[in-house]
Chains A and B, each alone.
Chain A
Amino acid sequence: MSTAPPTIGATTPLPLPSPFTHSPLTLLTQGAEALVFRTTLLNAATPVALKYRPPKPYRHPLLDKRLTRARLLAEARVLVKCAREGVQVPEVVAVGVEEGWVALGWVEGGTVRGVLDGYTPSHPPSHPPGEQKDGQREEVLMGLMGRVGRAVGRMHEVGVCHGDLTTSNLMVRRKEGEKAQEHFETGGGHHTAGLEGLDGEIVLIDFGLATQSIQDEDRAVDLYVLERAFAATHPVAEPLFREVLRAYGESYKGAKVVLRRLEDVRMRGRKRSMLG
């Protein structure tokens, strides 16, 4: 692998290997840990999400290498495990362990966060069923919440805890043939106000903090984080999240125990109130 650095919008040239040097890179998000680009791999018709963990100048180079490597491998292993067990996650296309990148299969669609943001405030779910369209919308949305619960349940069943389960890390895959394009670049912003796109399957993304765990505590904390994310994005999220939990509870053996554990986690409240 050669490491000719391409220059993209970012200030630092990235030591990315040859498949990426000649393909267009579009920066999607920049987190604390990683940059995520949309690009193509091998041919222009294969879009991938490229997650790159740049070296941190503040860390000792040895420590930096060790951490980046360990985290990247852990993430890739969790994704591969999920995919093998039939959990809907982006597939791992290629990994550059030393350079700190992983290329993931592109997921066409928007985030659940985008759906929730687009849904409020004119049609809160507690709204008396006025127009028929409202009722229909609510039904579709409840269906979506059920799929969210089952998707999280399935992930937990196979022994993976996400570690950062927010509504931004849940995607709704757009069905083929549905009007595509236009909003992939926003990462699924505020588009899905209507009903279209709500019936796709749920894909879990961003396993950067994921662990392989079958402990009720870890699972319950996942649900608690998701609950907080719902509450933060959506003022009337409670009935929606109830549906998530209901579907979760029926999704696998052991789920009920986790729901009881969730009560404990809530009581502890993680002590803090950091949202808002």
Chain B
Amino acid sequence: MIALGLEGSANKLGVGIISHPSPSKPPLILANLRHTYNSPPGEGFLPKDTAKHHRAWVVRLVKQAIRQAGVKVEDISCICYTKGPGMGAPLQSVAIAARTLALLWGKELIGVNHCIGHIEMGRAITHAPNPIVLYVSGGNTQVIAYSHRRYRIFGEALDLAVGNCLDRFARTLMIPNNPAPGYNIEQLAKKGKHLIDLPYAVKGMDASFSGILAAADILAAQISEDLDDAKRLKAEDGELVTKADLCFSLQETVFAMLVEITERAMAHVGSREVLIVGGVGCNERLQEMMALMAKDRGGSVFATDERFCIDNGIMIAHAGLLAYETGIKMPLENSTCTQRYRTDEVFVAWRDQDTASS
């Protein structure tokens, strides 16, 4: 069966076409296109502008994806779209596009939980059978484990998502948003040498990032080049603290928190595998730290690259098709979208009850 997936919960518009040849074979990716709305440095993306971007691009991307996949409209079984969670206006734009396609072509509609899309795509790409999942992006921070037909949230951010913390710090430093603020922070952090003290806020399996962002913003004001050298923030060795040092310190601190809560969840359920998904999951330093932790526990880490980590249409198509294959249908009048849609609300009919297999 073939599905077309539409994703637009944040500033990426993604269109993907996936084929599930048979239950025993791995899924085939026929097309995976993405167009990103980037706001100018120092600014975040606003819902209305992002929605406008999605509306402007969705037809072009769908046409291009179908051409690239080499499929006919008749071959497509269902149209999958992101039901939530995400920003309201962009979600609505894409939901309207999905409904339009479904009516136009006479296809079934499937609304997909964005987080479930990330998890299922990560599992499909890495072949990690039953990992602890760390889902980290601009809007979500969750430590997840599968049990009894649900992806259960063991730990999560109590305030900001970790990606939001990084994005907003990039704005403070006026780091460009292109290709992504987190990516630019990662590159800068590689040049950082000094670890500057930042708050560390882990509570059980939860983490908090807003205080860290506030503290980092205060430090950023103290390294401004407009200040006298005497007044500027210095490291312990007397050198001036740089933007790179702050990016480095922020990454080291927040990633240590993420790895710690993941490790706690692994100890709690006795798992040895970790899968990292979501946009922040592209960060190689995070992957490296996670691998060191997993190695210590005799396990391993699974991660994907930017094609699947960053929001994309293929994951929505994949997760939607998994649900569609179990017989789930969504009547047109139920094809809504919602800004709040928790991972553990979804009944995972396509996986075994038993934690151990598939």
Interface residues of A (CB under 8 A from B): 30-33, 56-60, 62-63, 66-67, 163-164, 209, 271-274, 276
Q: Residues of B contacting A62 with CB < 8 Å?
A: 195
Within 8 A of A (CB), among B239-295: 252-253, 256, 259-260, 263-264, 266-268, 288-290, 292-293
- The 23 sampled A-B contact pairs (Cβ below 8 Å) are A31-B267, A32-B260, A32-B267, A56-B256, A57-B292, A57-B293, A58-B256, A58-B289, A58-B290, A58-B293, A58-B296, A60-B252, A63-B200, A63-B252, A163-B203, A164-B204, A209-B203, A271-B342, A272-B152, A273-B344, A274-B154, A276-B148, A276-B152
Residues of chain B within 8 A (CB-CB) of A30 are 267
In the assembled complex, which residues on chain A have CB atoms less than 8 Å from the CB atom of B266? 32
- Bound-state Cα–Cα, A221 to B25, Å: 47
For the complex, would chain B's binding face be called helix, strand, loop or mixed by DSSP majority? helix
- The complex places the Cα of A109 from the Cα of B287 at a distance, in Å, of 42
Residue in A59, A163, A274 with the greatest tally of chain B CB atoms within 10 Å: A274
Q: Which chain A residue lies CB-closest to B144? A: A274
**Complex-state Cα separation, A60 to B256, whole angstroms:** 8
- The answer to whether the Cβ of B153 comes within 8 Å of any Cβ in the partner chain is yes
Whether B147 is near chain A, meaning CB under 8 Å from some CB there, is yes
| Among B148, B256, B268, B344, residue most surrounded by chain A Cβ atoms (within 10 Å) | B256
Question: Are A63 and B264 touching (Cβ within 8 A)?
Answer: no
Q: Which 9 A-B pairs have the closest CB atoms?
A: A32-B267, A58-B292, A58-B289, A32-B264, A32-B263, A272-B153, A60-B252, A58-B293, A57-B292
Alpha-carbon distance A14/B288, docked complex (angstroms) = 24
CB-CB < 8 A to B145: which residues of A? 274
Interface SS majority for chain A = loop
Cross-chain contact B195 with A273 (CB below 8 angstroms): no
Nearest CB of A to B26, in Å: 31
CA distance A115 to B164 in the complex (A): 46
Say whether B153 contacts A274, CB under 8 Å: yes
**Chain B 136-170 interface mask (CB, 8 Å, partner A; 1/0):** 00000000010110101110100000000000000
- Chain B residues lying within 8 Å of A271, measured Cβ to Cβ, are 153, 342
A31 contacts across to B, CB distance below 8 A? 267
Q: How large is the interface on B (under 10, 10 to 19, 20 to 34, 35 or more residues)?
A: 20 to 34
By a CB distance below 8 angstroms, the chain A residues around B290 are 58
A30–chain B nearest beta-carbon distance, Å: 8
Using CB atoms, name the residue of chain A closest to B297.
A32
Question: In the bound complex, what is the Cα–Cα distance between A24 and B203 (angstroms)?
Answer: 34
**CA of A130 to CA of B204 in the docked complex: distance in angstroms?**
43
Expressed in whole angstroms, the Cα–Cα distance for A63 and B257 within the complex equals 11
Inter-chain contact B204/A163, CB cutoff 8 Å:
yes
A13 to B22 Cα, complex, angstroms: 50
Q: Is B252 a contact partner of A276 (Cβ separation < 8 A)?
A: no
Contact between A60 and B204, CB atoms less than 8 A apart: no
Q: Please indicate the chain A residues that have their CB under 8 angstroms from the CB of B203 in the complex.
A: 163, 209
Taking the closest CB of chain A, its distance from the CB of B19, in whole angstroms, is 35
B260 / chain A contacts, CB cutoff of 8 Å: 32, 56
In the complex, chain B residues whose CB is within 8 Å of the CB of A57: 292-293, 296
Cα(A136)–Cα(B150), bound, Å: 41
A209 to B195, CA, bound (A): 25
Q: How far is the CB of A16 from chain B (nearest CB, A)?
A: 18
Whole-angstrom distance between the alpha carbons of A141 and B259 in the complex? Answer: 40
What chain B residues lie within 8 Å of A58 (beta carbons)? 256, 259, 288-290, 292-293, 296
A residues less than 8 Å from B204 (CB atoms): 163-164, 209
CB distance from B140 to the nearest CB of A (A): 13
Q: Report the minimal beta-carbon distance from B40 to chain A, rounded to whole angstroms.
A: 33
Closest Cβ–Cβ distance, residue B133 to chain A (whole Å): 13
In the bound complex, CA of A58 to CA of B267 (Å)? 16
A128 to chain B, nearest CB (A): 32
- Additional A-B contact list (4), CB under 8 Å, known A32-B266, A272-B344, A273-B344: A31-B267, A32-B267, A59-B259, A60-B195
Q: Least Cβ distance of B257 to chain A in Å?
A: 10
Considering the chains assembled together, what is the distance between the CA atoms of A66 and B198 in angstroms? 11
Residue in chain B with minimal CB distance to A62: B195
Tell whether, in the assembled complex, residue A63 and residue B153 are in contact, meaning their CB atoms are under 8 Å apart.
no
Q: Which of B286-341 contact A (CB under 8 A)?
A: 288-290, 292-293, 296
Chain A residue at smallest Cβ distance from B293? A58
B256 partner residues in chain A, CB cutoff 8 A:
56, 58-60, 63
The answer to whether A63 touches B344, judged by C-beta atoms less than 8 angstroms apart, is no
A residues less than 8 Å from B289 (CB atoms): 58-59
Chain A residues whose C-beta falls within 8 Å of the C-beta of B288 in the assembled complex:
58
Contacts of A272 in B (CB 8 A): 152-154, 156, 344
Q: Judging by beta carbons under 8 Å apart, are A56 and B293 in contact?
A: yes
* Cα(A57)–Cα(B294), bound, Å: 10
Enumerate chain B residues within 8 angstroms of A276, measured Cβ to Cβ: 147-148, 152
